[in-house]
Amino acid sequence: MNQPAKYSVVAIVIHWVVAALVLYNVFLPPKVEDAPEEAVAGMMQLHMGIGLTILAFMLVRLYWRLTHPVPALPAGTPIWQVRAAKAVQWSLYAAVFAMVFLGITSAAFAPYEADAFGVVPLSWLAANNVETHEFFVGIHEAMNRVIIGLFVLHSAAALYHLTVKRDGVFRSMLPW
């Protein structure tokens, strides 16, 4: 397969949609402890709905990534940078999938009705078990730090290519 100079429109759109949804759910998760009780269900329904939307986009993204060529890094890029780029990208994929599945699992054991967008029931998947629910919520929340760390690495590398290297790597993922 020939390697393109730029990512495909589909890859670019999915990248930025997933990035926006993940950043929203990671940085603006529902603060249920601070919310009025009547607002908590709606906040959680939105959070879970966005999580399922991320899962759908990530499945398409993974399929697209495995079946379409991606631009190569510029000639002369040190091998450690090539490996680091691949490691961070694939780790982001794994972390986002893990985050979604941990969220679904925590919802499955929730001691309340867990419905994504208020219409997709998740709590019917398993028995109501507060301890198991809290265990998976804890891991789900810990994944925030993993995703933030990977996001920082990925963003720093993109900015390095934009401002220092000026080699087109950053532009290859822009829609214009």
* 29 has pLDDT over 70: no
Q: Are the beta carbons of 114 and 44 closer than 8 angstroms?
A: yes
Cβ–Cβ < 8 Å for 15, 173: yes
Q: What confidence category does residue 123 fall into, taking pLDDT thresholds of 50, 70 and 90?
A: confident
* Domain coordinates in residue numbering, the chain: 9-173
pLDDT confidence of residue 40: 81
Element containing residue 46 per DSSP (H, E): helix 37-67
Q: Which pTM was predicted?
A: 0.91
What pLDDT sits at residue 18? 98
pLDDT score, position 1: 57
Q: Where is mean pLDDT largest: 3-12, 102-111, 118-127, 156-165?
A: 156-165
Q: Which residues contact 55 (CB under 8 A, 6 or more apart)?
A: 97, 100, 104
Q: What is the mean pLDDT of residues 78-94?
A: 97
